[in-house]
Amino acid sequence: MNSLIRSTARCLRSGAAVYPPRQADGRVWSASARFLCASAGLQKDLGQMVKKDKVVVFMKGTPAQPMCGFSNAVVQILRMHGVDDYAAYNVLEDSELREGVKTFSNWPTIPQVYFSGEFVGGCDILLQMHQNGDLVEELKKLGISSALLEAEKESK
């Protein structure tokens, strides 16, 4: 969890790290340039964030306290498969992250799930993958053995 907090903090810091040049009277100029710099920095950070962990989720709330039914569904599905060690970024804490990830993924809604840096989809797709068995296979490719597979083996 500490690494998640550090990761989120790093993301927030880099997003806010570009300070605009100020004129003598203190007015900020080139606000659009600041936005572009900040958003370009964030896009680059997102590229790193989604690759840093095998499973990455951008969600509303946290795995311990989801703030959205769709985000909660993603958390519950992952939990069912025994996937507890993943990076979860709470977009409600950072509006720049919230918009930035939508641009980065070219996907309009939250939650968003990444496996090994590749965008998988949102809640609907993860649910269908869970229902049709594809999720077990995809987790296997990540080197994660689904808890459901283990449970099935034990029952035989």
Partner 1 sequence: MLPTVLRCVRPISTSLALSRPLAHFRPPMDPDPSRPIERSIRSKLTDALDPVHLEVHNESHMHAVPPGSESHFRVLVVSSQFEGLPLIKRHRLVNEALKKELSSCVHALSIQAKTPEQWRSDPSLAKSPPCMGGSRGDHTVEEKLKAGRE
Q: What does the binding site for partner 1 look like in residue numbers (CB under 8 A)? A: 60-61, 66-73, 76-77, 79-80, 92, 95, 98, 106-109, 119-125, 127-131
CB of 82 to partner 1, least distance (A): 13
Q: For CA atoms 46, 49, 50, 56, give the dihedral sign.
A: negative
Q: Which residue's CB is nearer to partner 1, number 30 or number 95?
A: 95
Q: Tell which residue, 64, 60, 74, has the closest CA to residue 122.
A: 74
26 or 69: CB nearest partner 1: 69
The CB-side HSE value for 1 (13 A sphere, CA atoms) comes to 3
Which amino acid, residue 69?
A: G
Q: Which is nearer to partner 1, 55 or 120 (CB)?
A: 120
Q: Which is nearer to partner 1, 33 or 67 (CB)?
A: 67
The nearest distance, CB 97 to partner 1, in angstroms, is 12
Q: Is there a contact between 83 and 143 (Cβ–Cβ < 8 Å)? A: no
Least Cβ distance, residue 22 to partner 1 (angstroms):
28
Residue 128 has a CB neighbour count (10 Å cut-off) of 12
Token pair, residue 115, equals 């496996």
